[in-house]
Amino acid sequence: MNSLSEFLHMGGYGQYVWSAYGITFVAMLLALLIPVRQHRGLRKRLKKQLARQAKSKN
């Protein structure tokens, strides 16, 4: 366990190193999850629109 706490300590720079990595991965994850969610919403909207159009034609 000593080596793990040493690893996290980063020679006294732990707060800098880990906050930099944390912010980076949160930003990258968000920038990927947002378009994936948007894709689902967009398809749902388009499907509804298509159903409405089919209805109004009949």
Partner 1 sequence: MIMKFIHRFASPPFFYRFSAKAMPWFVGLFLLFLGYGLYGGLVVAPADYQQGESYRIIYIHVPAAWLSLFVYMVMATSAAIALIWRIKLSDVVLISSAPIGAMFTFVALVTGSIWGKPMWGTWWEWEARLTSELILLFLYLGIIALYNAVEDKRIASRAVAILTLVGVVNIPIIHYSVEWWNTLHQGPTVTKFDKPSIHLSMLLPLLSMAIAFKLYYGLALLARARNELLQRERNAGWVKEMLKDE
Kindly list the residues in this chain that would bind partner 1 in the complex (CB under 8 A).
7, 10-13, 16-17, 19-21, 23-24, 27-28, 31-32, 35-36, 38-39, 42-43, 46-47, 49-50
Minimum CB separation of residue 13 from partner 1 in Å reads 4
Side-chain-side CA neighbours of 53 within 13 Å: the count stands at 6
Minimum CB separation of residue 34 from partner 1 in Å reads 8
Contact between residue 8 and residue 14 where contact means Cβ atoms under 8 Å apart: yes
By beta-carbon proximity to partner 1, the closer residue of 21 and 58 is 21
Contact between residue 8 and residue 16 where contact means Cβ atoms under 8 Å apart: no
